[in-house]
Amino acid sequence: MRRTRASFKYALRECKRHGKKLMADRLAYRLMDCDYYQFWQNVKKETNSKLPLSPKIGQVTGEKGICTMWGEHFQNLLNSVDNGNLAAELGDRLITGMDAVPRFTVKEVQDAINSLSVHKSPGPDGLHAEYFIHASHILAILLSILYSSYCSHGFPP
């Protein structure tokens, strides 16, 4: 009896000690199976959602300050230089220089993005239509340059 009880206590201590590793392995297997719904359900279940949020990030405190900090960060991420409509004009100028190949204007790409259905599953890249619809206007410029250069060269740049 004593030996069985001791081995049980040892096994229990080992499980507690390696609990985080076992949890991470379970989550990794869910992610490898491409079962994203179950993955996020397990993340939600296994993490303590009752933990309070951090009231301070860097020098910023409070919910409103933190939201403002992240909003400014993501707003400035692709807009580091304020150049007005210069980027769209430059994209159109680059595209109109290629006459022998099909070219995609920024307006055509933007119209195609706006016509996407939001009730569809993501493509093989994992990006939903909402990502493209709600992204910055700079994305349409970059995509028009990408598609046009792809058509002109025959391979992705």
Q: What is the pLDDT of residues 53-69, one digit of tens each?
A: 667 777 888 778 888 88
Q: Contacts for 12-16 with beta carbons within 8 Å, 24 or more apart?
A: none
Average pLDDT, the chain: 76
Is it the case that residue 100 has pLDDT exceeding 60? no
For tokens 């769209």, what's the residue? Answer: 88
pTM greater than 0.75 (yes/no): no
CA nearest neighbour of 102 among 44, 27, 43, 153: 153
